[in-house]
Structure 1
Amino acid sequence: MASATDTAWSALRQTGQVTLRGEPATWSRVTRWLFLVLGGLVGLLALAPLVVIPLVLLGGAEISLGIVFGVFGVYAMLTVLGVLLVLGYRRQVRYLALERQPVILDARGLTLRGVGPIPWHDVGPAQHRLVRNENSDGFVRRAVMPLTASGLAAVNQRLAPELRPRISPATGPIWNRTHRHVYVPGVKGMSQGEVMGLLNAAHQLFLDSPPRQR
């Protein structure tokens, strides 16, 4: 029985186009759960004073004004952190929904997460690279297609600003943040390695035989 990758590659060679069912990448699903776990921890921290303070009062101890202000300060910080986590979680849920949109490969380019087609000459072959973490200043290993010079101009200058985060997170200093890669999409029924192999095969196929001008 032919694998999903073999079937997609066969359709691509025969018809010049294949439409695949998008699926959230592993890192994207993990990020969603991370937000949920952190939110739960913040909730537990918020409950702690409500348990500790009554126990202290029952024990006959006095609570100074400094402790009261300290508790309010802690709650203020937890509130800010909670709001940031909620906003991050909602953003991640929206991104997960975008990842489920069709992934289309044809002679015009690659369409993913509702953006495209991205011309094949605007991206390099799919590969693993260390890139800036989506939610911190560290680096993580991601499957990406690096943007070429023409791709950098197309994404960072001509693509609508609200669509650029669907390509990849922006990196660089706050006064010059740019999108440098296309994150490899997830595809239902395929591993990340299989998706990368299919993208690279399509990349070579269509660059070697570019679409005819009509």
Structure 2
Amino acid sequence: MAKTLFAAPLSSPRRQSDSMIKLHRHDLPDGLDLGPVVAIDTETMGLDPRRDRLCLVQLSAGDGNAHCVQIVPERLGGRGADCPNLKRLLANPAQTKLFHFARFDVAILRAALGVEVAPVRCTKIAAKLVRTFTERHGLQALCRDLLGVEISKQQQTSDWGAADLTPEQLAYAASDVLHLHALWARLEGLLLREGRLELAEACFRFLPTRGALDLMGYDEPDIFAH
């Protein structure tokens, strides 16, 4: 059963308190349609997809609402990777998955759920291709610079493996997907302006392979570093 929560307000044109956050344990509900482009993020116990477990998957259709799926291991009374609706969406070739720093997310989703996530877009790669005048490519900086939206990172390093997530954690998790559609629209315009959209698309197509290489241990040394 989904639990509906409301996030704390943020200083933005659209208050996050106007957004609805639904928490689902184990899987997305049957029949949920999140449209052709789905913003996705993950929360984990750490930043090594070979070691750290997946705890939460956040999704948004770009409608101002967020769905958070809590992944609970079987040893803790959950269903683990038994989430057929979520896995079907992640692998659906007709739905584009929109991430920020997709390299990590596609790797952890492959490791935890055994699914290749495709097709994908990544706002961090897009930003690096067109915002070469700055090193500010984090989600917080991009939302501030391109959308005039302030998002908080206070809960980023909290315990995502807890059985009961706090409203503050869920508000933080939702903020990572609620603005990705608008952010992509701005970045896609910049990619078109600078003639780099095709280059970006080639990078996006490679991301599932890059994630697989990371899981095999080819993150360091990077085989492309030469």
TM-score bin, normalised by smaller chain: under 0.3
What TM-score do you get using the length of structure 2 for normalisation?
0.21
More helix by share: 1
What TM-score do you get using the length of structure 1 for normalisation?
0.22
Q: Answer with 1 or 2: which has the greater Rg.
A: 1
